[in-house]
Structure 1
Amino acid sequence: MKMHQALGQGKNLFTGYGEGHVLINAERHEGNLIVTPDSVQPWGVDDFSSLAESHFNMLLDLQPEVVLFGSGASLRFFHPRLMAALVNAGIGVDVMDTQAACRTFNILMAEDRRVVAAILAI
């Protein structure tokens, strides 16, 4: 699916998504990703079942205001202990399917929020 580009010139914006990939500023990225308004990097997690506290703790270095977890094609919730460090640091964590995380990221980024998307491929 393609998404329309809105605000956020010079920042990362999800412009589409499909099976196994997302488009960021019309550039295709495959696999699991950590996306901020200024960077895109691979997320070293194999799949949903292999999520560990360390996968979320590493997000603390990015100093987000909110983390959007895109759980793939369907909404799946992980054990709350995995995000304990984020919650204890006062960082909001929202869990949604990857498509919703992409759309929500664009909205929060356009509002100049310090948002991080932790995306599992669809």
Structure 2
Amino acid sequence: MKMHLQRNSDANLITAYAPGSITINEHAHHSSLVVAPGWLVSPWAPARFEDLQAADFTVILEHRPEVLLLGTGRRLRFPPAATLAAFRERQIGVEVMDTAAACRTYNILMGEDREVIAALLLIETD
């Protein structure tokens, strides 16, 4: 039996990532962004991990995803618990990882039709 991958052509797929760039549906973005299967925020206000504030997550909370993937750049860094407290209060899962891992995980979860949102800080250029 021949099988074909069926993909929602309207869904946002991360097609590449590299230092200084994240590509969504073959369109390169050069700033931090928030991506969900049906919508995109680019640029996203925090440019660096140190810039993250609770208010930056308002747009994500409004969509009430099942899970938020937070890509923190080249390396895994955990924001203060208070920054993500609103997710815990709403029983929304948060997975913190480096941005490359968050990009890969987003595509997998989106392919499983999960309600996923990825908030991605750019991988710093050297």
TM-align CA RMSD: 1.3
1:1-122 equivalences in 2 (<5 Å): 8-10=7-9, 11-41=11-41, 42-122=43-123
Deviation larger for 87-96 or 55-64: 55-64
Give, in whole Å, the separation in 2 of the partners of 1:106 and 1:7.
14
Contact (CA 8 Å) 1:70, 1:99: kept in 2 or not? yes
CA radius of gyration, larger in: 2
- Give the 4+ runs in structure 1 shifted more than 3 A: none
* 1:49 positional shift: 0.8
How does the TM-score come out when normalised to structure 2? Answer: 0.87
**How many residues are aligned here?**
117
Q: Which runs of 5+ in 2 are unaligned?
A: none
* 1:114 positional shift: 0.7
Q: Which runs of 5+ in 1 are unaligned?
A: 1-5
Question: What do the CA deviations read for 1:6-51 (whole angstroms, capped 9, x no partner)?
Answer: 6533211111111111111111111110100011212111311121
How does the TM-score come out when normalised to structure 1? Answer: 0.90
Give, in whole Å, the separation in 2 of the partners of 1:33 and 1:21.
10
Give, in whole Å, the separation in 2 of the partners of 1:71 and 1:7.
31
Question: What do the CA deviations read for 1:70-107 (whole angstroms, capped 9, x no partner)?
Answer: 00011111111101001110100000000000000001
Give, in whole Å, the separation in 1 of the partners of 2:62 and 2:89.
14
